[in-house]
């Protein structure tokens, strides 16, 4: 019996003893985080799936794992198809699958600290049509069989200086207090870890790659606040930073803190707060008002200090990336390098800046066919050599006190095929189209997404991920509410100060992957004679784009001019930070192509 087969059997045994017909296992923590601590990686422990989004349903006689288009290839590589049916979320939701597959009259368990209230309503309604029911459990049954489950992390919570934050926490809380007054509400429950970090100007180390601390916040109409965090994470420096307007409580006392809101009108974000929070407040007699977390939008709209910090972080980061690309131009054709060795070398260059706090996510280091796995995570088992006449895709980023970076480059090792060059150039054309667009105030990312896909669509091909996501300021590398995508967040208008990625791609399963990613800043544009406010994107990321992958016959004059101007800016930013052979390589890599 395999490891995951044994774990699945152990879980089913617990469910049977509890009189349950099944259980739902999402990738999630108590804060609805995208990236979670090792203690909460229940889905990976059960199934082997290492992506950042997915859910499994375990019934007595069958099980299924649900992933979106980013993980279609990865889930088949990591999860045993004999144990779990593969289901694409675009084709069928978890709730609908339960409604079709749960035995009539059965009870399906779920952990109310790992699901939204809306999901519970949908799943309950779907099960009810079969005479089945959904039941919130007092404890997670996986925890009962995961005998070496890691403990919750114990990293200390630290203050985030005003030199990086740009605004005092008291000012942010005052804004929330005014919002509460306008909404005739008494308090707002802040549950997302990056929201808590932003509101209180704190950072931590509880989640790999994301500098946050397991914590909850409640902000009141008078600007005072309650912060729930484990006592061992609190220092005298932190107490001084927070001041006497912030009352500190233990993390495990948060539920009792919700009871104290009895009789109050309380704002709770239905997308970011778990079902258990709603249930506890309802039981306490609070009046719950569903509102988006009031810190989400101001957090996304970076202030002048955060923008300046991001520029500084980017300049430092792209120099490290350029050093890596120079190294790869020699080491790749020489042979002997692998996905793991290349990722380690890139980390060396970032660490050499002396300012790297962490990477902003697990580096996606994909050679040849592994590059076609959108969110690939290299391991000893999957590690491929970097070989001649192939494409190598590297998507990586850094966490610095002054900013968070995210960049993808696709590099030809040797000579790319005509197909590789055509697809690369189509991706580049889409990237340029998005980088140069001007759009009226009120435009959403969903309205712009097609710009990046149009050249691929012309050939009847596409990519199964969004074109752009928001990025935090020394926070989460994936940040809402804005997105450039045809799904999820597409209705959010783009506003000045928002940072997004621009990352169209193409993936040929079993052969190669292509992605070109820079970060961009939404900024006002001056256009003579304009009859309304106009916005556009300022490119923030400047590192060479591999000219060996480009079919110049497919580029228009305007596109060629953009590429030459882009590479001229790369030289301005990066050249002063390089010397010797690396500098000579950069000059050649950035020479005009037109």
pLDDT in tens, 2-32: 899 999 999 999 999 999 999 999 999 999 9
Segment holding 346, helix H or strand E: helix 339-351
Q: Are 518 and 540 in contact (CB under 8 A)?
A: yes
Confidence of residue 158 (pLDDT cuts 50, 70, 90): very high
Given this model, what pLDDT does residue 103 score? 93
CA nearest neighbour of 484 among 524, 525, 522: 522
- How far apart CA 142 and CA 101 sit, in angstroms, is 21
Alpha helices in 61-212 (DSSP H): 72-78, 94-101, 117-128, 141-145, 162-165, 169-183, 193-200
- Residue 489: both structure tokens together: 């967040």
- Average pLDDT over the chain, rounded to an integer: 96
SS3 318: helix
- Collapse the DSSP code of 28 into the 3-class scheme (helix H, G, I; strand E, B; otherwise coil) and give the result: coil
The C-alpha angle with vertex 537 and arms to 201 and 164, in degrees rounded to 5, equals: 20
Maximal CA-CA distance, the chain:
73
Q: What is the mean pLDDT of residues 542-570?
A: 98
Cα–Cα–Cα angle for 339, 343, 348, nearest 5°?
150
Residue 468 to residue 491: CA distance in whole angstroms:
14
Question: In whole angstroms, what is the distance from residue 194 CA to residue 175 CA?
Answer: 17
Q: Which CATH superfamily is domain 158-295 in?
A: Creatinase/prolidase N-terminal domain (3.40.350.10)
pLDDT at 69: 80
Q: pLDDT per residue over 299-328, tens digit each? A: 999 999 999 999 999 999 999 999 999 999
Q: Indicate if the pLDDT at residue 148 is higher than 60.
A: yes
- Give the pLDDT confidence score for residue 23 in this predicted structure: 96
- Supply the angle between the helices 304-334 and 339-351 in degrees, to the nearest 10: 140
Task: Give the mean model confidence (pLDDT) for residues 467-476.
Answer: 97
**Count of CB atoms within 10 A of residue 144's CB?**
15
**What does CATH list as the number for 3-145?**
3.40.350.10
pLDDT at 542: 98
Alpha carbon separation from 544 to 418, 567, 572, 594 (Å, rounded): 21, 7, 12, 15
Q: How far apart are CA 390 and CA 415, in angstroms?
A: 7
Each as own residue / partner, the long-range contacts of residues 159-164 (CB below 8 Å, 24 or more positions apart, any chain) are: 159/201, 159/202, 159/203, 159/237, 159/238, 159/241, 160/197, 160/201, 160/202, 160/203, 160/474, 161/201, 162/201, 162/305, 163/305, 164/305, 164/306, 164/309, 164/401, 164/402, 164/473, 164/474
The confidence score (pLDDT) of residue 317 equals 98
For 301-589, which CATH class?
alpha beta
Report d(CA 211, CA 156) in Å as an integer.
Answer: 11
CA 56 to chain centroid: 20
Q: For residue 488, what pLDDT is reported?
A: 58
pLDDT for the residue 80: 87
pLDDT confidence tier of residue 375, bands split at 50, 70 and 90:
confident
Every domain of the chain and the residues it spans = 3-145, 158-295, 301-589
- pTM strictly above 0.85: yes
Name the band, by pLDDT with cuts 50, 70 and 90, for residue 490: low
* CA gap 21, 109 in Å, rounded: 8
Mean pLDDT of 519-527: 96
320-346 as b/e: b if 16+ CB within 10 A? bbbbbbbbbbebbeeeebbbbebbebb
pLDDT in tens, 379-422: 999 999 999 999 999 999 999 999 999 999 999 999 999 999 99
SS (H, E, C) 382-434: CCCECCCCEEEEEEECEEECCEECCEEEEEEECCCCHHHHHHHHHHHHHHHHH
Q: Is 389 left (phi over 0), alpha (psi -120 to 50) or beta?
A: left
486 pLDDT above the threshold of 90: no
Exposure on the CB side of residue 211, measured as CA atoms within 13 A: 24
Cis amide bond preceding 481, omega within 30? yes
- What is residue 66's DSSP assignment? E
The residue assigned the tokens 């005052």 is 174
Domains 3-145 and 301-589 in one fold: no
Strand partners for 474: none
pLDDT tens-place string over residues 63-103: 999 998 878 888 898 998 899 999 988 889 999 999 999 99
- Residue in this structure with the two tokens 């049916």, named with its chain if needed: 85
Angle between helices 557-574 and 580-589 (to 10 degrees): 160
pLDDT above 90 (res 489): no
What confidence tens digit (pLDDT) does each residue in 189-234 have?
A: 999 999 999 999 999 999 989 999 999 999 999 999 999 999 999 9
């Amino acid at each position: 019996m395999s490891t995951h087969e044994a774990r699945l059997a152990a879980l089913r045994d617990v469910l049977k003893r509890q009189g349950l017909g099944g259980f739902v296992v999402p990738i999630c923590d108590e804060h609805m985080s995208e990236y979670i601590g090792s203690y909460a990686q229940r889905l990976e422990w059960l199934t082997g799936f290492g992506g950042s989004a997915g859910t499994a349903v375990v019934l007595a006689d069958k099980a299924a794992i649900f992933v979106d288009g980013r993980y279609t290839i990865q889930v088949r590589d990591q999860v045993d198809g004999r144990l779990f049916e593969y289901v694409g979320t675009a084709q069928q939701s978890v709730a609908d699958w339960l409604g079709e597959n749960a035995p009539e009259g059965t009870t399906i368990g779920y952990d109310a600290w790992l699901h939204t209230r809306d999901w519970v309503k949908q799943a309950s309604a779907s099960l009810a049509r079969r005479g089945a029911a959904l039941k919130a459990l007092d404890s997670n049954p996986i925890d009962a069989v995961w005998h070496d489950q890691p403990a919750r992390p114990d990293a200390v919570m630290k203050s985030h200086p005003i030199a990086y934050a740009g605004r005092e926490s008291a000012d942010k809380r005052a804004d929330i207090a005014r919002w509460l007054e306008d909404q005739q509400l008494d308090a707002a429950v802040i549950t997302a870890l990056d929201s808590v970090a932003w509101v209180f100007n704190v950072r931590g180390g509880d989640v790999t790659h994301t500098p946050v601390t397991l914590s909850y916040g409640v902000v009141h109409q008078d600007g005072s606040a309650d912060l729930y965090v484990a006592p061992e994470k609190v220092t005298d420096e932190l107490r001084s930073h927070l001041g006497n307007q912030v009352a500190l409580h233990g993390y495990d006392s948060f539920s009792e803190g919700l009871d104290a809101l009895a009789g109050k009108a309380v704002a709770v974000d239905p997308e970011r707060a778990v079902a258990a929070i709603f249930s506890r407040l309802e039981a306490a007699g609070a009046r719950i008002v569903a509102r988006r977390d009031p810190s989400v939008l101001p957090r996304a709209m970076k202030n002048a200090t955060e923008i300046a910090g991001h520029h500084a972080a980017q300049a430092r980061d792209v120099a490290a990336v350029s050093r890596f690309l120079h190294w790869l131009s020699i080491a790749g054709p020489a042979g002997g390098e692998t996905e793991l060795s290349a990722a380690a070398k890139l980390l060396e260059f970032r660490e050499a800046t002396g300012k790297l706090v962490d990477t902003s996510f697990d580096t996606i280091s994909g050679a040849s066919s592994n590059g076609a796995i959108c969110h690939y995570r290299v391991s000893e088992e999957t590690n491929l050599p970097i070989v001649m006449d192939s494409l190598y895709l590297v998507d990586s980023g850094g966490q610095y006190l002054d900013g968070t970076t995210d960049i993808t480059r696709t590099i030809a090792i040797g000579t790319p095929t005509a197909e590789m060059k055509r697809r690369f150039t189509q991706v580049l054309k889409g990237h340029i189209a998005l980088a140069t667009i001007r759009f009226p105030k009120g435009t959403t990312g969903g309205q712009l997404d097609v710009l990046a896909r149009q050249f691929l669509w012309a050939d009847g091909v596409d990519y199964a991920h969004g074109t752009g996501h928001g990025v935090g300021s020394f926070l989460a590398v994936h940040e809402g509410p804005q997105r450039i995508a045809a799904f999820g967040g597409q209705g959010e208008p783009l506003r000045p100060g928002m940072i997004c990625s621009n990352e169209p791609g193409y993936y040929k399963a079993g052969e190669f992957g292509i992605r070109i990613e820079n970060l961009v800043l939404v900024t006002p544009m001056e256009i003579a004679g304009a009859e309304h406010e106009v916005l556009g994107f300022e490119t923030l990321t400047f590192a060479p784009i591999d000219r060996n992958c480009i079919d110049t016959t497919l580029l228009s004059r305007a596109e060629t001019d953009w590429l030459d101007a882009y590479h001229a800016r790369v030289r301005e930013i990066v050249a002063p930070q390089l010397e010797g052979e690396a500098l000579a390589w950069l000059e050649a890599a950035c020479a005009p192509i037109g």
